[in-house]
Chains A and B, each alone.
Chain A
Amino acid sequence: MRYHSIDLLRSFAIVVMVIVHFTENLAGYTPLIAGLGAPTFLFLTGLSYRLWLNAKQARGVTETEIAKSTVRRGLFFFGLGFAFNVLVWLPEDTFNWDVLTLIGVGMITLNLARQLPPTITFLACLGLTSLTPLLQFEADWQAYWTPGYFDPDLTLTDVVLGFLVVGYFPIFPWLAFPLIGFLFGTFQFAETPDPKREDRFAQLGWQAGLTLMLLAVFVVLGSANSSGETATFLSQSWRMFPPGVAYMSGTLGFVLFAFGLSFLFFDRDRRDRFQSLHRITDTLSRHSLSAYLLHHIIHLYPLWIYGSFSANDPTAYWQKAMSVPWSLAAAIACLTLMYVIFRLMDRYHRGGIEAWMRWLCD
């Protein structure tokens, strides 16, 4: 069974991601919506894993088979993450710890989390988020980042620190998102479908989300009314790299809020009034991994190739290839092109990278 709310949110994450990456990498402009895509995507990874798990358990698949399949998927993502870094971001960025490697680690952690009481998973999430500011301070996060991007040395120390705390998507605190998604899914979706329970938790979700978003607003506003180190700490709390307290709270709140409301609105829409929208989101959602890889190739490869030939430096035009409106237009064109490709793939029964993953891991 497909949930329209999940498809919708995942499609939203893809659209945000494409727009942000195009405008950032081609025009050097970071739009306001930046920072909403990754948390949504990661939260949905955990939530979808719960649904996948429920389906497997309902079919009577053994625990060993589920564990094997999950770990294989985790390793697939981890390996794909490295391949992606080398082939798309070029070899010097092999260890930048992008979102795919985090999803890989997340899958393997979810395999452990599914066997633990929810209390422990919740405590782990608290630990992941609360320890992060201290770890960022201990690791001297600023030293690894030149303005705008992660720039480590190829040493074991930097690789390990990048993986743990200072990379793009280190496990502290980003691992908390798939775990919270999984936890929320565990509470909302019982082994046997229970609409009342699902609705109750959807309502709880949007209410909790609203509370977290308000908390983030208060933290940001609090920075204006405080002074000294407290003001510095609070003013830095709304940023994605490194993720601050307000950012974590606000984005998690946004995902819970958006998921809860869209679940109640779209998945409980008995008249099915939004079929056209669902067709689009269903397509994008099912090919989300392909979309992630494809949009990078579409906008970065021409940039690297043109830079190599015209300026003898692949990154010569990075962030200065075109103006913001043109990069936005290119993003929309890319989304349209990807949608057409995915529809054609569906029509001719051609699987993308998702089908390879299932073939290899399930």
Chain B
Amino acid sequence: MDNFQTTTPIVGRDATTATSAAPPPGPPVPDDATTGEIELRLPFRQAGSAETHRLRLITVNPQRDDADWLARHFESIQAQPTHTPNKTRTVLLTFQGVQILWRRDQVIIDAPADRVERVSLAIIDATTHELTLESLESEVDSHWDDVRSDAPLAFEFHERAVPRREQLFHRFQSLVEARVAYAKLVPQIIVPYVHPPTLTSQIGERLRERLRMPERLELLDQKLAAQERVYELCSHRVSEFMVARKGHQLEWVIILLLLMQSVLLLVEYLGTTSV
């Protein structure tokens, strides 16, 4: 069994949101560490969020006396109360002589030089998936208030709601975009274990597992389905209403003309019969 642990509940987003504003300080990095920064372009990002995500990669040479420094730092994070504002989702992976301390904005890789590149690529890959999933979750969760206010229109559309058609269209469109991103993300997360396992495949698998990505995907699917149901019904009601409305308008114009003609005839008749 691997000797890694995670800290805060993974599904909760609050800790992540808090840390994205003010990232917590990392562990004291040794002098010989190499620090690099890469920009990740996510296939899906929440409306209004930054276009790219910066990830700091710190690589450390493992040939040192103090081999447990990352584990100690991880334990110190764990010891913090759950509600600590700058406590973030942190994962420690230790296997095959490699230690990785993962955080959404910073990864410390304590690995032999010949493995660093492979480990880095695997980490970047998994981090991209995690951040995409996070963006999708935030996007879907940000729609609940809209869904609640639009739900009555899924049952009945009316004249006063006609100006809201454009709004409904945009919400429906953003939901479709989220569903497309979800569909693209699923085959990258729900993948069979590689046999025989390699270092890179294990990093991806463990990180996905420890961040509970499959379970979160399932939850996301249910949330998306619930919202899609509302907007699908809304689109039906809107199109039905608009088609019927055109017909009704024409009918009402005819009724108005007939009424005006009747009034004219009535007044003309009464005018002639009046004493």
- Annotate A168-212 by CB proximity to B: 1 below 8 A, 0 otherwise: 000010000000000000100011000000000000000000000
Instruction: Please state if A131 and B260 are interface contacts (CB–CB under 8 Å).
Output: yes
Instruction: Please state if A157 and B256 are interface contacts (CB–CB under 8 Å).
Output: no
Instruction: Please state if A138 and B160 are interface contacts (CB–CB under 8 Å).
Output: no
State the total of A-B contacts with C-beta under 8 angstroms: 62
* Chain B residues with CB under 8 A of A115: 159
- Give Cα A161 to B274, complex, Å: 9
For the residues of A in contact with B, the DSSP-based class is helix
Task: Please report the total number of B residues contacting A with Cβ < 8 Å.
Answer: 21
* Chain B residues with CB under 8 A of A127: 256, 259-260
Binds A, one of B89-97, B213-221, B261-269: B261-269
- Give Cα A124 to B160, complex, Å: 19
What residue of chain B has the Cβ atom nearest to residue A119's Cβ?
Answer: B249
Instruction: Please state if A172 and B275 are interface contacts (CB–CB under 8 Å).
Output: no
A118 CB, nearest partner CB in chain B, Å: 8
For the residues of B in contact with A, the DSSP-based class is helix
* Chain B residues with CB under 8 A of A123: 252-253, 256
Instruction: Please state if A135 and B263 are interface contacts (CB–CB under 8 Å).
Output: yes
Contact count band on A: 20 to 34
Instruction: Please state if B264 and A157 are interface contacts (CB–CB under 8 Å).
Output: no
A-contacting residues, B153-185, CB 8 Å = 159-160, 163
Instruction: Decide yes or no: A120 and B273 within 8 Å by CB, A138-B268, A165-B267, A172-B263 being known contacts.
Output: no
- Give Cα A52 to B159, complex, Å: 17
Q: Does B236 contact A (CB under 8 A)?
A: no
* Chain A residues with CB under 8 A of B275: 153, 155, 157
Given contacts A117-B249, A155-B275, A191-B160, 15 further A-B contacts (CB under 8 A): A117-B159, A117-B248, A117-B252, A123-B256, A124-B256, A127-B259, A135-B264, A138-B264, A138-B267, A153-B275, A157-B270, A157-B273, A158-B274, A160-B266, A161-B270
Q: List the interface of chain A (C-beta within 8 A of B).
A: 57, 115-120, 123-124, 127, 131, 134-135, 138-140, 143, 153, 155, 157-158, 160-161, 164-165, 172, 186, 190-191
Query: Can you list 9 contacts pairing A with B, beta carbon distance less than 8 Å?
Result: A117-B252, A127-B260, A134-B264, A139-B274, A153-B275, A157-B273, A157-B275, A164-B263, A190-B163
